[in-house]
A and B are shown apart, each in its own frame.
Chain A
Amino acid sequence: MIAETGLAALWLAAAMSLLQLLFGIAALRPAGAELLRAVRPVAVAQALLVGIAFLLLIQLFLRTDLSVALVAENSHSAKPWLYKFSGTWGNHEGSMLLWVSVLALAGAAVALFERKLEERTLVATLSAQAAIGLGFYAFLLFASNPFDRLDPAPLDGRGLNPLLQDPGLAFHPPTLYFGYVGISIAFSFAVGALVTRDVGPAFAKAMRPWVLGAWIFLTLGITAGSYWAYYELGWGGWWFWDPVENASLMPWLAATALLHSVTVLATRDGLRAWTVMLAVVAFSMSMVGTFLVRSGILTSVHSFAVDPQRGAFILALLAIYIGGALALFGLRVGTVKEGTTFEPVSREGALVANNLLLTAILGVVMVGTLYPLLVEAVGGEKLSVGPPYFNAAAGPIALLLVLIMGAGPLLRWRRDRLGELTRRLIVPLAILAASAGAVLALAPGIGLLPLLGLVLALGVGAASLAPLWKRNLRRTPLFTWGMVISHLGIAVSLGGMASESAFSKEVLVAARPGETVKIGPYAIRFEGVEPVAGPNWTAVEAKLNISRGGGAFVLRPQARMFTAPPTETSEAAIATRLDGQLYTVIGKENEGGRWQLRLWWKPFVTLIWLGGALVALGGFLALIGRVRRGGRKAARIDEAWA
């Protein structure tokens, strides 16, 4: 019964989104003004219905209802509770249902809370959101039905990919989706404003908190995903330039550019057409990402099943939405009036540079991600594009961007002088020069990119704090704090990346019990292995006695064997210290009782994710600051009218 109810709720939600679109179109006609009020409740009803469908699917997974095909293929009765729950979205159909749920929730949130936007633009926005929803409901109902029954029901399920059996699965995909799909709001806002010809500062101020919200989730999702891959895959790497990672990075780059250009539009009424364009591009990147991950065109841990039909379906949706939005943009861009102009040396100038560089990085990442697919589609030649390409092509642009990030916030709006800027940057520039000398003295053999990374991290870290200099910190607005902390987070993260790539030490040995291995500041004694067992796995566990100066502790990396599906994984054991992480992995047993051990000492690697968290925290502070200020203004206007 649960599955049928879920399917019915899903159909009803699809019907609601059709209704939302039709009401919206009718309401925007001269005769339909009385329908304007009807659109918001329909959007909320749609979200409720699809939310019910999603909760029912979770219920099916918790019960391990094997008469449902999706549960039988992806779950198992012996799986721990948490993985039954999070396994709901650890498969194609479930994750698409989560996708649509977030889309509908985002629309409902706009319907409930957006008060600044002009009513007709809001209705156009909700209609655009409904139009996106319709396509993906069709995809779910006709090509990826999560509630399909299986008759006869099997005795037990096939289980979940053990790499996904980790608490990370409960957190990473939903967070990423809130960001990924949440950015659809920016797309719908842009389409809405184009339809009602309402592109201006008021529109930008209304759109900004929504972009900020999605961007925070996207930042958190990418950071969490990076850490998850780092500790779960046991390869010691934190970013692989895997197409699936790029699929989440591309919307982030576009959203970051949008976040900065929307500020120019809100504050100075500049970059009108560009901001609208970026909003369209940002969500287009999300859909490209969905296509890459969900079509099965890539084979990775994220592509749960290969089915060309689904790929074609998503590709068609992609073409319709992106093509439609771009066509609308082309038709209406002439009516978007040009904003105010400005001098090159000014806050606006720096923000434009930010946008150009972010767009350039986006272009580099997109070329690297799509090129192998295109080459294979055209000539059948197979090739892969990996870290050497991305580091060489995107690295230098990113460093230049970080440099501008340090200076930009110190520039005045409208017009400024370079001499003034240099004076304000004197302390950071001194730190920059001193750190360059210090790094070269301490690590003479360091590569160019890590050197620039470390030096810029220190100098720009100092520069990012400079906007607070000589300010009354208690009266500094929250969104200024937000900007400072986000920029500081970028510098912190950059420092971690540079330190990890410059100073990591790696040892690979085959050790007998009793042998001692040295790495970085640690001496590691391999005591031996013993068998251990978990709820649905057995493992060989190594005991490593680790000492550094006086203190000693034990790490126990495991090589696990899962029973359903039968798979081996390695569980790294990691010790986190203030100055870095010790990362240990156990491999195979050799002839003669020797065990392969792979050990890394990664100085300051944790800064990478700490920086990511700071970036998100800054976004959160800015969001609170904007919403509070907006609320206060609205209250003042209400009082004036009372």
Chain B
Amino acid sequence: MKRKNQRLSLLILAIAAVVAAVLLAMSALKDQAAYFYAPADVARQGLPLDRAVRIGGMVKAGSVKRAADGVTIAFVVHDETPNTIPVRFRGIVPDLFREKSGVVAEGRFQPDGLFVATEILAKHDENYMPPQLDGKSGEHKSESLK
């Protein structure tokens, strides 16, 4: 191979590799990125059935119920609008999961509107608020140290 050509062909190869990677990444992103929905968003845009999403809001007072197996819970998420999302989750909920407190869940909607969560996002301390909720409900804004 000639001198001039090798540097050029390596450069083209490098650019091609990076472009291919970014294209691969973008196409995977289209399928895999989980969008965030508040109850009001679901009411406005309809149920996103084709992909995993995140939902977030406040756990409605008195809505948490345990199933007979002892490890499945059901609860209702609401926001400042009248809309709600019923959620079912099988697993150990994070320590700070409680009624009238913020929650973010990842999972899929069923056609009947039930949200089956695969994960309830852990909250690391009592001041922590999922970033998605920060703007959504003023009185529960995370408290920063400074």
The distance in angstroms between the C-alpha atoms of A161 and B125, with both chains bound, is: 7
Is B25 a contact partner of A393 (Cβ separation < 8 A)?
yes
Expressed in whole angstroms, the minimum distance between the Cβ of A203 and any Cβ of chain B is 19
Q: Which of A305, A559, A588 contacts B144 (CB 8 A)?
A: A305
- Chain A residues with CB below 8 A from B116, complex form: none
Q: Which of A233, A299, A359, A570 contacts B17 (CB 8 A)?
A: A359
Is A360 a contact partner of B28 (Cβ separation < 8 A)?
no
Interface string of A296-326 (1 = CB under 8 A from B): 1011110011110000000000000000000
Near B by CB (< 8 A), chain A positions 398-431 give none
- Chain B residues with CB below 8 A from A158, complex form: 145
With A368-B25, A510-B69, A567-B95 as known contacts, state yes or no: A299 contacts B130, CB within 8 Å. Answer: yes
Near B by CB (< 8 A), chain A positions 193-240 give 233, 235
Near A by CB (< 8 A), chain B positions 101-146 give 106, 122, 124-132, 142, 144-146
Is B21 a contact partner of A397 (Cβ separation < 8 A)?
yes
Is A596 a contact partner of B71 (Cβ separation < 8 A)?
yes
Interface string of A384-398 (1 = CB under 8 A from B): 111011001100010
User: For B22, B92, B106, B122, which residue has the most chain A Cβ atoms within 10 angstroms?
Assistant: B92
Expressed in whole angstroms, the minimum distance between the Cβ of A623 and any Cβ of chain B is 28
- Asked if B7 lies at the interface with its beta carbon under 8 angstroms from chain A, I say yes
Expressed in whole angstroms, the minimum distance between the Cβ of A314 and any Cβ of chain B is 16
Interface string of B68-97 (1 = CB under 8 A from A): 011100000000000000000011110110
Is A588 a contact partner of B22 (Cβ separation < 8 A)?
no
The distance in angstroms between the C-alpha atoms of A341 and B33, with both chains bound, is: 42
- Asked if B20 lies at the interface with its beta carbon under 8 angstroms from chain A, I say yes
Name the residue of chain B whose CB is nearest to the CB of A310.
B146
Name the residue of chain B whose CB is nearest to the CB of A235.
B122
Is B92 a contact partner of A596 (Cβ separation < 8 A)?
yes
Cβ-Cβ contact count across A and B, 8 Å cutoff? 147
Total number of B residues with any Cβ neighbor in A under 8 Å: 51
User: For A307, A367, A384, A508, which residue has the most chain B Cβ atoms within 10 angstroms?
Assistant: A384
The distance in angstroms between the C-alpha atoms of A594 and B22, with both chains bound, is: 50
- Chain A residues with CB below 8 A from B21, complex form: 359-361, 363-364, 367, 393, 397
Near A by CB (< 8 A), chain B positions 4-31 give 6-7, 10, 13-14, 17-18, 20-22, 24-26, 28-29, 31
Q: B interface vs A, CB < 8 Å? A: 1-3, 6-7, 10, 13-14, 17-18, 20-22, 24-26, 28-29, 31-36, 52, 54, 66, 69-71, 90-93, 95-96, 106, 122, 124-132, 142, 144-146
Q: A interface vs B, CB < 8 Å? A: 73, 158, 161-163, 233, 235, 274, 296, 298-301, 304-307, 338, 341-343, 352, 356-357, 359-361, 363-364, 367-368, 371-372, 381-386, 388-389, 392-393, 397, 508-510, 559, 565-570, 585, 587-588, 590-591, 594, 596, 598
Sample 21 A-B pairs with CB under 8 A, ordered by A number: A161-B125, A163-B124, A299-B142, A305-B144, A305-B146, A341-B1, A341-B6, A360-B17, A363-B21, A367-B26, A368-B29, A382-B36, A384-B34, A385-B33, A388-B52, A389-B25, A392-B28, A393-B24, A509-B70, A566-B126, A587-B93
